[in-house]
A and B are shown apart, each in its own frame.
Chain A
Amino acid sequence: MVETLFEDIFRVDELDPDGKKFDRVSRISARSEQFDMLMFLDINTEIYPMRTGDKFMMVLASTLNLDGTPDSGYFAPGNKKSLADKFDYVMQGKLYRISEESREKQVKADIFVSFGGLLMQLKGDPSIAARFELDQKLFILIRKV
């Protein structure tokens, strides 16, 4: 089994917190159960609808290959077995920014990932952010529970 970078179960708090701006894409704000992470994520709701209150399992991994070989970054068609098989919604992107935010002496770290323009912001304890590297290729895998 391949090592994942992050795994947790999230619950959708709100759809489009700033109002709906795009037809097919919605921004969800979700909170995780285990690590108490706050996440904003753009999701193509046309092919994978989300509603407030939905619970889903989210996994971040650096490759889909089950043997753990790193991803090439280029399109390689073929029906190989992969990590994605167990999930409903998978996106591929790049980590482009890690930042900090301190409020009332509590330091939170944010990681920002862009899945071809669909953005994710994951806010939480700095120790989680330490697992990630800048410019890392990331896969987000989602399965409703």
Chain B
Amino acid sequence: MSDQSSQSQSLTNNWDSLQVEVAQYINSDVRVPLQYSENTKPLSGFVQRLKGKHGRFRGNLSGKRVEFTGRTVISPDPNLKINEVAVPILMAQILSYPERVSHHNIERLRQCVRNGPTKYPGAKFIKHPDGTEISLTSKVRHRHADDLKYGYIVCRHLQDGDIILFNRQPSLHRMSIMSHRARIMPWRTLRFNESVCNPYNADFDGDEMNMHVPQTEEARTEALMLMGVQNNLCTPKNGEILVASTQDFLTSSYLITRKDTFYDRASFSLICSYMGDAMDPIDLPTPALVKPVELWTGKQLFSILLRPHAKMRVYVNLTVAEKNYGKSGETMCPKDGFVYIRNSELISGQLGKATLGNGSKDGLYSVLLRDYSAHAAATCMNRLAKLSARWIGNHGFSIGINDVQPGIVLNKEKKVTIDKGYGQCIDYIGSYKSGSLDLLPGCNNAETLEANITGTLNNIRERTANVCMNNLHWRNSPLIMSQCGSKGSPINIAQMVACVGQQSVGGRRAPNGFVDRTLPHFEREAKDPDAKGFVQNSFYTGLSATEFFFHTMGGREGLVDTAVKTADTGYMARRLMKALEDLSVHYDGTVRNASVCIVQFVYGGDAMDPGQMEEKSGLPLNFERLFMKAKATCPAVEQKSLSIEEIDKTMDEIIGDRLSESTGTPEGESSQAFSASSNKEGGMETFDNSLRKFIQKKYPNSDLMLKLNGKEHPDEDKGYLEKIASNICGVTRQQLMVFLETCISRYSLKKIEGGTAIGAIGAHSIGEPGTQMTLKTFHFAGVASMNVTLGVPRIKEIINAAKKINTPIITTALQSDNNEIIAKIVKGRIEKTLLEQVAKSIKTSQASRSASIVITLDMTKIQGAHLSVDAYTVKESILKTKRMKLKEQQVKVLDHRKLEIVMHADKKKLQFELHGLKNKISKVVVKGIDTVERAIILNEAKEKDPSANKKMKLLVEGTGLLSVMGIEGVEGRKTTSNHIIEVQHTLGIEAARKKIIDEIQYTMSSHGMTIDIRHMMLLADLMTFKGEVLGITRYGVQKMKDSVLMLASFERTSDHLFNASAHGKVDKIEGVSECIIMGIPVQIGTGMLKVRQSVKPIELTYGPDPIIS
């Protein structure tokens, strides 16, 4: 009996442990009863092999290890062209390219074969057409070389001019991997032109980069056409130029173009020969100074750089205001800060980052790229790189201790500024202590003090920075670098020379780490600048002990921030990419996902390519610049300028003609209709309208002078007046025609191409700037006390479609926005007012079996706050409050400002209940919306002009958009919240879409980043196209996508796989992820097209085929 039971026991035991084994075989993370868990580390189960970053899905299927790659340290070489990369010989001997032997290359390849695998231009293998492969390590390779025939394939070493892909991690956008041409060079680093640092975000402090060698001609061509550096000078994020001069190139250009650099003929010619290795023909211009000595200026040097000889037909026209432009006088700016290039001649201005650097839309390279070609821009960059590297090598540029030594004037001014600021702070503290501080709107005493002191102290640093900029000698190296924009800011200089400034932790002054003080060196409750982390000293003078400690506090925050940020933004970028990867533009202009479900009818509302937009705000063309160019390149000479009527006529002719043929197609019509109906964010008017408007705006002022003078002067002067007028602002027929033609033809080239993987581009464009944002930044929305979440946390909230956000704010418009009293009344209606806030007293009185609470309202306070509250309304709100358990009879109104609440209860409980009730009563909301924290009145007009009409707005902190809109006095139609989910529930899905766009736009712009609105539109459309707001999270993505493989490669791999197998799901392998996993060409871009052939249906014959036919 016992034997049997023990037997069955062991059977169940074994059964269970078998179950455990099987479960662990599949998923080793599965929870196991303790007695079965072995101490030995279990083998990883199937699930573990699949999931996670290094699992089968993400580690082996979505990304694979490849051959023909190399990786080493990078270093700069300005002598290389921007599309070249220097590959060490050692690498070139390992990497190879299979070249097919032909009539043209047979001798060269024979030599390679003879050289074998160890001597540089050599080869590693020969492949015969029948598939046999011969290694060339043996001595017989000389025979193989002689036997080489057409059609054989020689795996030869990498040679000059071979196409390679060059990449640096993190690959945040598509410019992180670009195609270059190889230059085989000695030594061991990969080298490239510094101008290409920006797209890779590379520097040379030990960075390493990867290279890949495409192995087929098709791959090479595609790489060159699509990924070539020359075709990626611009970022598709916003159309700004990304490959541009940096650092030393800017510094030397800045110094060369200084107004007082002069060269005699010898040195001028020498520098001219720098830029083209003395190989290019150069036309030497007449010297700017003819007498007493022949001298050329640095600006003439730049004119040569742009257009070395007369046969070169590049006419650049641009105006740029540099950093040090004095805001008036245009070219006559005394600091020479206004750059004007007319017909490739540098007229005025000292060149700096705005003209030559990245991140601008009307800089030199952008203009070259748009008006001429990528090649023109690239050659110009090459020339500038060579010129400046060699020039600065001779000129010398270094930094020393004397560059950061402040002068007597500077020290004195610094002392004055600091003393003044300190005095101000002490005054603030004094009035804070005495309670006489003028409160800022929405702040209490302490907050006001903090805001004031912080403002003053930040001002000190700014002021000292200005003093530095004004007092340092112009030869000061840090000053030069900061002015031309190559490195450093005025603040950096001020920190070295004058004053380090306020150290902050978490956006505030140093926190109290000890009891009521920051450090034991200070008195308790000390609020003066020194005690809260203001560093008076500069890095040159050295920091005191406490200052140093505060500085480390600030420094650590920065370090922690960057560490946290990378992980956070990386995950965000991954999610964005997974959600957007398969969106592409189809040939009908729609944006669809992989299962051809329409996400947008017309991309961005106007089907324009964001990477090619020329205007700052994202419009396709910068009319102003084009008009200037047309006028400068087509000199009027003998032609007469047109009158208003003539202009009108010409315009009608050309626009009518050209636009009807180019955009009059049904497609064009629809795009216009869409942009009109969806009212795209202001600027996107239809093209011809905006063109007309521009001309109409342009020419009335051209006739102003003619008319004005026509009256005063008789006929004889008219001739010359006309001449001047046409010189000043006339337009000839040719100029107008050229302008309109360029506008129209260029516009039609800017349409987005079918097949563009616009989803991936959009994901990059939003993900990449995320990495540059500091993690936690709080900004002020006009009011000092009102914080809004910004930066990465905010972007995360938006794309997660978070139900609960950190700082929900409802922006309320008022029906009458010019009256402060009305604004206050409305504010009172919205803001939550508790009974204790309006009660003068809440008294309890107690008898033996009954007790009562008498509430006296403070009517002066109520009237002061413009609340319509009296005892009757208070009674109502008490009764309305939940969990109060009071009957109507219990609450008695004594008079309009007094009411009594009577209680009946046991004697024992009475005491407790009375106090409980008293506490509850005091928290009763007598007026306003429960979910609202507070409301702040904002006067928008005041900031600009105090005398102007007031324009009141209410900012409401909290949720409850619907109730706020319902409040009397609120203009409901113009009231909105920054809480996207709430907007969706209250106003609908379209409003939510608009809100997503606006909020991302706002967040990005407050970090000084511009992103083309079309990317955000696409993201917003993707989040809303299912009819509800879906976040870019595992839940949202699951609802957007159908493919199991895609979901499995995203998150929760095993769940999706189990689920799919249980339900017998089918995956059509349409999306990007699936295709990559299966190793099939992706159906986006060039893979979108398929050659189809109509094949006759096969006739099936029944019965066996005849053996002999």
Contact = CB atoms under 8 A, between A and B. Distances in A.
Given A117-B288, A130-B721, 11 more contacts: A21-B335, A75-B284, A94-B342, A98-B724, A114-B347, A117-B347, A119-B331, A129-B724, A129-B727, A133-B727, A135-B342
B701 to A, nearest CB: 10
Interface stretch (B37-45, B255-263, B557-565, B997-1005): B255-263
B636 A92 contact: no
Nearest to B725: A100
A111 B951 CA distance: 45
Interface string A131-145: 011110001000000
B283 interface: yes
Contacts of A134: 635-636, 727
Interface stretch (A6-14, A41-49, A51-59): A41-49
Contact of B260 (A25, A64, A93): A25
A20 to B, nearest CB: 10
A33 interface: no
A91 B288 contact: yes
Nearest to A131: B720
B332 A121 contact: yes
A107 interface: yes
A119 B258 CA distance: 13
B348 interface: yes
Given A22-B259, A102-B708, A134-B635, A92 B288 contact: yes
Contacts of B728: 98-100, 109
A71 B331 contact: no
A68 to B, nearest CB: 17
B310 to A, nearest CB: 8
A107 B287 CA distance: 34
Interface string B327-353: 000011011100010110111100000
Nearest to A97: B331
Which of B297, B342, B636, B727 has its CB near the most chain A CB atoms (within 10 A)? B727
Contact of A98 (B292, B720, B727): B727
A85 to B, nearest CB: 9
A48 B262 CA distance: 14
Best-surrounded residue of B257, B259, B331, B335 (most CB of chain A within 10 A): B259
A138 to B, nearest CB: 11
B296 interface: yes
Top 9 closest A-B pairs, CB basis?
A116-B288, A117-B299, A18-B334, A24-B260, A130-B720, A116-B297, A90-B291, A90-B290, A75-B284
Interface string B291-312: 1110111111000000000000
B680 to A, nearest CB: 37
Contacts of A17: 334
A118 interface: yes
Q: Is the interface of B mostly helix, strand, loop or mixed?
A: mixed
B291 A89 contact: yes
A84 B293 CA distance: 12
Given A118-B259, A126-B721, A135-B635, A94 B292 contact: no
Nearest to A141: B291
Nearest to B349: A117
A47 B292 CA distance: 8
A23 interface: yes
A127 interface: yes
Contacts of B290: 64, 84, 90-92, 139
A74 B262 contact: no
Contact of A74 (B285, B289, B705, B717): B285
A92 B287 contact: yes
Contacts of B332: 40, 112, 119, 121
Contacts of B288: 91-93, 115-118
A90 B636 CA distance: 28
Nearest to B727: A98
Given A107-B708, A119-B332, A121-B332, A96 B284 contact: no
7 contacts: A21-B335, A27-B334, A75-B285, A84-B291, A92-B288, A96-B347, A100-B728
